[in-house]
Amino acid sequence: MRGAALVIQALQAEGVKALFGYPGGTVLDIFDEIYSSGLPFYLTRHEQGAVHAADGYARASGKVGMCIATSGPGATNLVTGIATAHMDSIPLVVLTGQVATSLIGNDAFQEVDICGITRSITKHNYLVRDIADLPQVLKSAFYIARSGRPGPVLIDLPKDIQQAETDEPYPDDIKLRSYRPTLRGNMQQLQKAAGLIDQSKKPVIFAGGGVVSSDAQNEIRLLSEILDAPVTTSLMGLGIFPETHSHALKMLGMHGTEYANYAVQEADLLIAVGVRFDDLVTGKVDKFAPQAQIIHIDIDPTSIRKNVQVTVPIVGDIRTVLQELNTLLKPRQNPQWMEQIKTWKQRHPLRYPQTDKVQPQYVIEQLAKLTDNRAIICTEVGQNQMWTAQFYNFHSSRSFLSSGGLGTMGYGFPAALGAQVAWPDKLVIDIAGDGSIQMNIQEMATAVLYDLPVKIIILNNHSLGMVRQWQSIFYDRRFSQTCLRRNKQCPPDCQQANGDCSAAYVPNFVKLAEAYGAHGFRIDHKDQVADVLQTAITTPGPVIVEISIDREENVYPMVPTGAPIHQMLRGMA
């Protein structure tokens, strides 16, 4: 069998149901095999769109995402998407073409060392130099991507290896001596954890993206109910615990709820599950959870004690560990602690100014109401991402897709396309800013041609909103290069920073939607929001809704960089 045909056989054997990518010279043999394979292929308009779509497919479905690109610029255009998946532990297999093995190292046309470039942002990568190795490499790639702590695996496949023949069969199973993830938690550590839990008076459960990867949302809910303990999540963990539940604290950290931050700072025990304690969560590390002993459960031992000291580390698959831990615990009640939580919620709810202007928080609330909080929501990065995390009450795992670790502008729309491919009958919405949506807007062609009915909600404040927010708060309102209406007639010192600008906004998103063959709607007034959103949701096919929002509206609460998480800027009385 030729190498290119073996690739297709591997994808079929691994149950791949969707391929995203872009052709080129060094992968023509693989694309020739795709032509008659019957595998669903989605031709994006940019390689970055392809890798983000594969990522969105993986997050929404729980399966391995798959994308293909040619060598050189095709491969390097994947780098941002690979890094996005790596930071958020998303299982991808990325296949890149490479020049023939005889040309490697000779600066051949469209040759780059993509393995070297991506070594630090992949879980593993391969350059295949011998056709006999290809079956094992393909099998290993899928196994490594989906097992343990998931992540992207890259296979760089030279053109002559694709054309070479082999009698080696595709293996049914694979065992790697140097790679054996620990699944079962150590019983002594589990018993220590149970003892700490039994002694605690003010426990808090902090759950993250690892719970999503392990499909352990039911175990988290059971743990909360057994302990009568509140649950807060990281951005990556949104949806794993119903946010309308009385135990829900919603999101923790820089733009988390005040009551989540207060609860963690007052807790005597923090049960951290599938989280990495990144800086946006902890704030000033030595002031984080100062009264709490910490139990940290994660399948990746390198994530434990990386950022905070823990009392009881437990390495293992989260679902398996929680199932074992829950059997060791006795049901209990914490009436005083839960009453304190209730008081904080009443005194410090999420809030925003009630004005006649179109407030972005109001838009998210109306969207949540119209969808019963049940849509698959993707976001770009920045203010749109944080307003969505705060005001859309997520109910289920894999319903929130966003670039958490890398913070990739342009992620949300192609990821939404991948999610729509995974769930063709579900409502998929991308909530975007006017800056980030333009980074991969070319994928409107992909949405229209493949009839992927993603709804794009653009919160248009005519600026790079989150950067502008920081300039407003910390840089004396010196708005350097954040106005998206700025043009060559504008003075060096913007005179309209506090008022209306007469410059036209470019582009007109409604006309842009129509140019691609999609539907476009605009909202300029608050009383239009509910009706136009309802129309957009029920309109067949891809839709763009452009909503003109208050440019001065910021995301609050906000923990300034370097401050402990209980010291928040609130933005309003």
Structure-token pair, residue 565: 């998480």
Structure-token pair, residue 190: 């589990």
CA distance 60 to 397: 9
> Which residue from 569, 352, 354, 544 is spatially nearest to 460, judged by alpha carbons?
544
Catalytic amino acids? Answer: 47, 109-110, 159, 466
Instruction: Tell me if 311 sits within 8 A of 195, measured CB to CB.
Output: no
CA distance 250 to 272: 15
Alpha-carbon separation of residue 122 from 132, 155, 244, 366 (angstroms): 24, 10, 37, 39
Pairing label, strands 376-379, 293-298: unpaired
Phi and psi at residue 458, to the nearest 5°: -100, 115
Instruction: Tell me if 157 sits within 8 A of 296, measured CB to CB.
Output: no
Q: Which residue(s) pair with 206 in the sheet?
A: 232, 272
CA distance 119 to 44: 25
Pairing label, strands 543-548, 519-523: parallel
Instruction: Tell me if 60 sits within 8 A of 376, measured CB to CB.
Output: yes
Structure-token pair, residue 375: 């849509």
CA distance 50 to 65: 10
Instruction: Tell me if 166 sits within 8 A of 136, measured CB to CB.
Output: no
553 by Cβ neighbours in 10 Å (0-12 / 13-18 / 19+) ranks as buried
Instruction: Tell me if 307 sits within 8 A of 277, measured CB to CB.
Output: yes
> Largest Cα–Cα distance of the chain, in whole Å?
73
> Which residue from 24, 16, 63 is spatially nearest to 43, judged by alpha carbons?
24
Give residue 390's region: left, alpha or beta (phi > 0; psi -120 to 50).
alpha
